[in-house]
Chain A
Amino acid sequence: MPGLMLLASNNGSGRIAPERADLRQDMSRDTFASILEWIMREPPEEEPGICFVDPRWDDEFAWMAKRARDSSIKASVLTNTATNDALASAEQLKGLGVEWRIDVTRASRGQGFLEQLLPVLGNDALLVIELPAQQIAREWLADMICEYGLRRKLAVALHSALSGKHEHLSEKDYSAVAETVLELARFSSRFDISLEYGCGIPWCMFTSEQLGELWRLNSEFFSQCDSDLIVTHDGQISYCPLLCDFCTKTYADYPSYHKAKEWFERHLANYRLLGTTCECISCDLNSLGPCRGGCLGQALATAKNL
């Protein structure tokens, strides 16, 4: 789903680095409306979306979610459900088709609160788990999904790019994490739950046999590093929270979202050659397609002369 990730009006309790106080500032309604119009100026083939990251559950958020829906842009939230207001907001927004991506790894209010919230959300909710995770019982995840009719998907995040910190999975941990993913996929498939994957992992984390098994389990792995552009309260856009210091533009510099995304892809393409593993630079999967060499933020974090 092409779109933007909104890093504004953040409640400051979630994944976003706490030191980024600027991300808690509000975006004006005018700027928000202008950005929606900017996205739709060249409507993408797939349904466009805007994702609110750990929003404050206030009237402004509700207004923005409704305004997005009215502009034919799908609204979603990525949340750790840090405050009780999330429950009221879930009630208020019911029926608007807002997708709630709930980070259960960082759900600071605990399982009890989720067990209140998830029945309200039902099929609007998709659970997100970060690996390697602290102990989260997979049986509990499957129970929640089945009992409350949540999306039969589990989003697996293997990096914490959204935090804006370089908390990368180390190459030496790849094989152990790959096996953990496989076990989760095998377990989940018994409940007709499939896995989807976050960005930043190269294909070579998995062996061919493991990739085949994931495919058979209906949890096919795709190596991605092409998240939605991010936008901050003042209309600054970047490719990813990890690349804010490397390259930031203003949305109004481009005639449309589509053109901005194209520009970032073109500008960053050759940097991808650096890759995240020793093999990336000469790997056809990276240079010709589908791998992209893992997380670009990780690749550039140790590069020189940037």
Chain B
Amino acid sequence: MGATAFYVPERICWKFMDETIVVVDVATGAYYSLNETASLVWQAIAEGNGTEDAVCRILGEYEVEAPVLREHVSACVVDWLKEGLICDKGVARDEKEKDPG
């Protein structure tokens, strides 16, 4: 979960709605309404700051054990990767290198 490990692909747009974030996959019409903590994680990824940035902010605002929080953040990231809401820069780079075109 490095500082710039993930990025938001072009087909995903998002916006703040008060304290939370809504995310829309404009290619499929799937949408997601994130809660406050997930919104912090999303914002960190989307702004290229990495998840640790969100972990620090959440630890500052909520009473939660750091290891537990990191576990939840990791699970969240895995879900978003599966849904295609975010992409792993390393994987994207590997695929680009394989592509002869």
A positions within 8 Å CB-CB of B? 269-271, 273-274, 277-278, 281-282, 299, 302-306
Q: Using known A-B contacts A270-B24, A270-B27, A270-B29, determine if residue A304 contacts B18 with beta carbons closer than 8 Å.
A: no
* Residue of A with least CB distance to B43: A304
Q: Using known A-B contacts A270-B24, A274-B22, determine if residue A303 contacts B13 with beta carbons closer than 8 Å.
A: yes
Interchain CB contact under 8 A, A269 and B22: no
Interchain CB contact under 8 A, B15 and A304: yes
Within the assembled complex, what's the spacing in Å between the Cα atoms of A276 and B33?
A: 14
User: Given B14, B25, B29, B33, which contacts A269 in the complex, CB threshold below 8 Å?
Assistant: B29
Residues of B within 8 Å of A271, CB to CB, are: 13, 24, 26
Interchain CB contact under 8 A, B33 and A281: yes
B positions within 8 Å CB-CB of A? 8, 10, 12-18, 20, 22, 24-29, 31, 33, 46
10 A-B pairs besides A270-B29, A305-B13 with CB distance below 8 A are: A270-B24, A270-B26, A270-B27, A271-B13, A274-B15, A274-B24, A277-B17, A281-B24, A302-B15, A303-B15
Q: What is the CB-to-nearest-CB distance from B87 to chain A, in angstroms, rounded to a whole number?
A: 12
Q: What is the CB-to-nearest-CB distance from A174 to chain B, in angstroms, rounded to a whole number?
A: 15
User: Given A274, A281, A305, which contacts B46 in the complex, CB threshold below 8 Å?
Assistant: A305
Residues of B within 8 Å of A270, CB to CB, are: 24-29
